[in-house]
Chain A
C-alpha cells in the first residue's frame, strides 16, 4: 500500500469531496472533511520521509510508463509544498468545529466542504504531478472550486470579487495552457522531465521564448505578482473567513511552486537567468510589490484587506528570493513559503474568530478588542511581529536569508530596501495593534473570548511561527536542500 500513497494523496480528497455530497448532513460532512484532511497530512508526511530517505518517487498512473503515461514525480520540492498545503488544510478545516454561523453559508454546508476538499485535491495535484498538462487540469479544479468558495462569502460583494477572480484566473489558466501547448509543440512531450531534457535543443527558438512568456504571465496572475495582483484583495476580503485563511496560506504558495518548477526544472536556471536575464524584470517588480503592497496596506480600513495587501508585499519577498538564483536566495524564498503560510494562515484565523464574535472586520469596530478577547488578539500581535520579521519569529528567518543572498551578490541597495520595507510592516501592524489594545471599546457589548475550537487552530499556527523561528532545521534545513537540489547545475 505504501507505494500507492502518491495516488492516494490526490484521490483521497477528490473522492471524499464526492462523498460529502452524498452525506449532506452538515456536522457529518464537516467531521468527515476534517478526518480526510488529517489523512492527507499523514500521507504528505510519509511522502516527505520517503523522499528524504530513498530519493525521488515516481508513480505511473494506470501502469503506463512515462513519458507516455501520466507520472507523479515527487522530489524534495514537491514533498515540501505538499506538507504546506496538507498542514494548512488540516488546521483550517477543524477551525470552529461545533460553531456554525458566519463563516459558512447556511443550508449549503455540505457543498462548502465538497468545494473545500476539491480545492485541496487540486492544490495537492498541481504540486505532486510530473506532467505539464496535468498541472493545468488540477489548476482548473483548484480555480473553479475556489471561485465557488469565495462566492459563498456573506457580503454580496463576494460575488463580484469571485467574478473578477474568475475572469483573471481564466486568463491566467489559458495563458498557462498556451505556454504548455507551445512547449509541447517544440518538444513533443508533456512529461516534465522529458521536456527538461529536450528543451535545451530548442533554446534558440522563438516558440520557447513565447512559451516561457505565457507561462510566467499565467502563473504570475495566479501568484498575484505585483502588476497582476488586482483580483487578490477583493477575493481575500470578501471570501468566508476560513476560506481566506486557507487560500492566503496555500493557493499563492502552490502558484509559486509552479513558477519555481517552470524556471528551475523545465527551462533551467542557466537559460532563464543568464541568457534571458529574467531577474532584470523580476527584481524591480518584487521590490515594487514589497513597497506598494505594504504602503497600500497602511491605509486600509478593513483588516482583511490590510492583510491581503500585506500578502502582495510578502509575495514580493518570495519572488525576490527566487530571482537571486543563488542557494541562499532560493532558500529564503522557499522557506518564506512555509513561514508565510503559517503567519498568514494564523492571522486570517484570528480574523475569523473576530468575525465570529463581533460580525465585522472593520478596524473601527475592533477598538479595544484586545481587552475582551486577549488570547485571540495576542495571537494577532505575534503573527504581526512575524510579518515584520522580529528575531525569534519565522519572518526573521526568511528575511535573514534574503538579506544574506543580497549581500552575497553585492547588491547592497536591495538589502537596504528589504530592511526598509520591514519598517512599513511595522507601521501597518502597529497601527492596528494600537487600536486593538489602547483604545476604549466602542460600546458595552458582551463580547466573549473565542471558543477553544477556534483558539486551538489559531495558536497551532501562531505557535508554529515562534517554534520554527527558533527551530530552523525542519524548515530552512529542508528548503536549503531543496535549493541545492534545484541549483545543482549552478554555483
Chain B
C-alpha cells in the first residue's frame, strides 16, 4: 500500500505538523529563560518539515519548501548570527559583545543579542536538516 493511501497517517500528521512547528517556536523563543535554544528548535522545526515530506512525498515537499530556499536559509541564519557580531564590532565593542546593541540598557542589549543569535542558529539548523533530507531522499533522481 502506498503512503498516500494511508489515510490515518495523512490526517494525523496533518493535524500534528502545526503543533510541532508551534512547539519549535516555543523552544526557540523561550530558550532565553528555560531549556532550549536555536539548535533544538531548529531540529524540531525541521522534523515537522521532514514529516510532511515523508508522508506526502518529495515533490509536494519541494512545492512547500523549495530546495534553493533552504540552501539560502543556511546562509541567511549564519549571516544573522555573524551580523550581530559585526554590528557590535562597528559599535566599537568586541565581536559578539551584546552590551552595545541597546544604547540605553546593556541588559536589554544582551537580550536582543542572544535572541537574534539563537534565531540565526534556528534558521540555519532547520534549513541544514531539510537540505540533508533532500540530499538523502533525492538520491538517484538525477
A contact residues vs B (CB 8 Å cutoff): 4, 7-8, 11, 14-15, 18-19, 21-22, 59-63
Contact = CB atoms under 8 A, between A and B. Distances in A.
Contacts of A15: 79, 82, 86
A277 B109 CA distance: 52
Interface in B22-71: 71
Contact of B79 (A18, A59, A60, A62): A18
A7 B72 contact: no
B79 to A, nearest CB: 6
B122 interface: no
A4 B82 contact: no
B72 to A, nearest CB: 7
B18 to A, nearest CB: 31
Contact of B89 (A4, A18, A21): A4
Given A21-B71, A22-B72, A4 B78 contact: no
B112 interface: no
A331 to B, nearest CB: 34
Given A11-B85, A21-B71, A4 B79 contact: no
B75 A61 contact: no
B97 A62 contact: yes
A42 to B, nearest CB: 17
Contacts of B118: none
Given A18-B75, A21-B71, A62 B94 contact: yes
A8 B85 CA distance: 10
A4 B79 CA distance: 19
Interface residues on B, range: 10 to 19
10 contacts: A7-B85, A15-B79, A18-B75, A21-B75, A22-B75, A60-B94, A62-B98, A63-B93, A63-B97, A63-B99
B21 interface: no
B93 to A, nearest CB: 6
A4 B75 contact: no
Contacts of B82: 11, 14-15, 18
Nearest to A60: B94
Contacts of A60: 94
Interface of B: 71-72, 74-75, 78-79, 82, 85-86, 89, 93-99
B56 to A, nearest CB: 28
Contacts of A63: 93-94, 97, 99
Contacts of B86: 11, 15
A1 B75 CA distance: 26
Given A4-B89, A11-B85, A63-B99, A18 B94 contact: no
B78 A18 contact: yes
B99 A7 contact: no
Nearest to B113: A62
A61 B93 CA distance: 10
Contacts of A61: 94-96
B132 to A, nearest CB: 13
Among A18, A21, A22, find the residue whose CB has the most chain B CB atoms closer than 10 A: A18
Contacts of B89: 4, 7-8
B89 to A, nearest CB: 6
A14 B81 CA distance: 12
Given A11-B82, A11-B85, A14-B82, A4 B95 contact: yes
Given A4-B94, A61-B94, 20 more contacts: A4-B89, A7-B85, A7-B94, A7-B95, A8-B89, A11-B82, A11-B85, A11-B95, A14-B82, A15-B79, A21-B75, A60-B94, A61-B96, A62-B95, A62-B97, A62-B98, A63-B93, A63-B94, A63-B97, A63-B99
A471 B27 CA distance: 60
Contacts of B99: 63
B94 A59 contact: yes
Contacts of A8: 89
B131 to A, nearest CB: 12
B96 A62 contact: yes
Nearest to A22: B75
B44 to A, nearest CB: 24
B110 to A, nearest CB: 10
A256 to B, nearest CB: 28
